[in-house]
Amino acid sequence: MPEPSPKRELGGKVKGKSNDTAKSARNSNRQKTVAIISKPGRPELCDVLPVLEKWLQDRGYAVVVDEESAVYFSASDVMGRSELAARAPELALVFGGDGTLLSAVRAVAEAGTLILGINLGTLGFMTELAIADLYPALEAIEKESYIVDSRSMVRGTLIRDQKNAATHVALNEVVVSKSAIARLNHFELFVDAEFVSSYRADALIIATPTGSTAYSLGAGGPILNPDVDAFLITPVSPHGLTHRPVVVRDTVEIEIRVQTGKEEAYLSFDGQVGCPARVGDVIRCVKAEHRARLLRFQRTFFEVLGTKLKWGER
């Protein structure tokens, strides 16, 4: 692992210092907590996680693991992933690919937790660290020698009969897609209550800059630098040939009105949680109140793109 940089916050505006001051005061009065979050079905973690828990405990950390991690070893403190934020861990170590990291972000980002992804997957846009580099990274974290990428998130709310039926946050995207294989969905799009267009398409994606390299990219959307204050609206296989992705500021309120007739649509968040949507439903998307704080060391966004997308070298 390259020599780490001094601690820095990148990728977004940090509102004042009151939150950090309060958090520091709270943390100084209690034992620091590290959460371990893991992808299922990775037998190599049977050897990795017990050693890691002991390493952390020997250095005075309280360690809590999610139920998926507890499958690999007899952990001392286990709880559901959705309950981890209540413990306000200072650091979350996430073993898996980008999918596991997305789930972890939704679970702990609201607690202001620093999140480090250890890559057990394939592509790994956000999980940059190899297991071999885990302990040098942890030692760098103890010395506060790291970079924090502060990533914006999107909050989507399903409104049915003028009531909030479901609300979730996502790091990558909110997607309204078709549930019937052969049918196009019909959506009406509004930005800050102004009508933009009516779409007939397989799906409509509302992506964050982080999500611009996920589903939206495969649908022909542009790549946004993570520190751009924007949302990306990308139709998937639109019936109208002139419909193209649109970039808007992330201060706007985006509304998608579902006009599917008898067919149901499906609303999903990061491709992992979701619910059916039907005619007359409104999906309202705004910037989430909290951000994801992803740890990295040396590699820049464009270095990651070059490596993961196999872009040519000069």
* Backbone dihedral region for residue 286 (phi beyond 0: left; psi -120 to 50: alpha; all else: beta): beta
One domain for residues 61 and 108: yes
The SS3 of residue 6 is coil
Tell me the average pLDDT across 183-198: 93
One domain for residues 22 and 130: yes
The answer to the question of residue 95 being in a domain is: yes
Q: From the candidates 98, 149, 250, 270, which is the catalytic residue?
A: 98
One domain for residues 112 and 162: no
Percent of the chain with pLDDT over 70: 87
Question: Is the pLDDT score of 196 beyond 70?
Answer: yes
Instruction: Judge contact between 208 and 285, C-beta under 8 A.
Output: no
Residue 31's pLDDT is what?
85
Residue 131's Cβ-count burial label (10 Å; 0-12, 13-18, 19+) is middle
Question: Is the pLDDT score of 24 beyond 60?
Answer: no
What CATH number is attached to the domain comprising 134? 3.40.50.10330
Tell me the average pLDDT across 260-278: 91
Buried b (16+ CB within 10 A) or exposed e, 279-309: eebbbbbbbbeebbbbbbbeeebeebeeeee
Q: 128: pLDDT confidence band, cut at 50, 70 and 90? A: confident
Taking the CA of residue 252 as centre, how many other CA atoms within 13 Å lie in the half-sphere pointing to its CB? 19
- Residue reference for tokens 């067919």: 263
The answer to the question of residue 223 being in a domain is: yes
Question: Is the pLDDT score of 247 beyond 70?
Answer: yes
One domain for residues 253 and 118: no
Structure tokens at 74: 């007899």
The answer to the question of residue 218 being in a domain is: yes
Structure tokens at 171: 């790091």
Question: Which domain does 165 fall in, by range?
Answer: 154-287
One domain for residues 303 and 236: no
One domain for residues 137 and 168: no
The answer to the question of residue 131 being in a domain is: yes
The answer to the question of residue 261 being in a domain is: yes
One domain for residues 16 and 64: yes
Number of domains composing the chain: 2
Tens of pLDDT, residues 147-164:
999 999 999 999 999 999
One domain for residues 13 and 148: yes
What CATH number is attached to the domain comprising 233? 2.60.200.30
One domain for residues 94 and 180: no
Distance (Å) of CA 285 to CA 217, 238, 291:
20, 20, 15
The answer to the question of residue 214 being in a domain is: yes
One domain for residues 269 and 300: no
The answer to the question of residue 313 being in a domain is: no
Q: 15: pLDDT confidence band, cut at 50, 70 and 90? A: very low
Q: 126: pLDDT confidence band, cut at 50, 70 and 90? A: confident
One domain for residues 159 and 53: no
One domain for residues 278 and 189: yes
- Note if 227 is an active site residue: no
Could you please report the per-residue DSSP string of 149-188?
EEE--EEEEEEETTEEEEEEEESSEEEEEESSTT--EEEE
- Strand (E) positions, the chain? 8-10, 33-38, 62-66, 78-79, 91-96, 114-119, 147-151, 154-160, 163-170, 173-178, 185-191, 194-201, 203-207, 230-236, 246-249, 254-258, 265-269, 273-277, 282-287, 292-296
Distance (Å) of CA 96 to CA 104, 118, 176, 260:
10, 6, 26, 37
The answer to the question of residue 27 being in a domain is: yes
